Amino acid sequence: MTDDWVHTLFDKIYRAYNEHDAAATIDCYAEELETLVNGEPGPSARAAFIEALQEQWLGFPDVTASETFRHVSGDLVVTEMIIDGRNTAPFLDRPASGKVWHVSLAWLCRVRDGRVSQLRVYVDNSALQRAVAPR
């Protein structure tokens, strides 16, 4: 797999996320996706990961991710991004707060057979907790 192909994959990941396109997102991740969030097990397998993204998209209908850094080295990809969105619908069993979610995060990914097979997310979860907290 060439670096160009990996760059194309990550361009598609960001485009699908920003368009809230679950079908396009599914194509980017291995069915047996392994996920860690801040060192703890995250959604296990692709279906659970996509479900978590869809929940974000529902709770933050205007949410977008802007990539600020990407490094590709063989099958390893490091990408940093900023996520922005306003909580205007229920999320995580909480009513909409109307607050903005603004967070920087990093992903360390392993790509196999043209898809992300391992995903390690490093994020300050307190930004999300503040965004969904009642006013």
pLDDT at 81: 98
Handedness of CA 6, 12, 15, 17 (dihedral sign): negative
Q: What is the pLDDT of residue 1?
A: 60
**CATH code, residues 3-132:** 3.10.450.50
pLDDT averaged per 10 residues in sequence order, the chain, 135 residues? 88 98 96 95 92 96 98 96 97 94 97 96 91 85
Cα dihedral 113, 10, 58, 101 in deg (nearest 10): 140
Distance CA 85, CA 98 (A): 10
What is the pLDDT, as a whole number, of residue 123?
96
d(CA 7, CA 40): 27
Dist CA 45 CA 47 (whole Å) = 6
Q: pTM for this structure?
A: 0.93
* Euclidean distance between the first and the last CA atom of the chain, given in angstroms as a whole number: 48
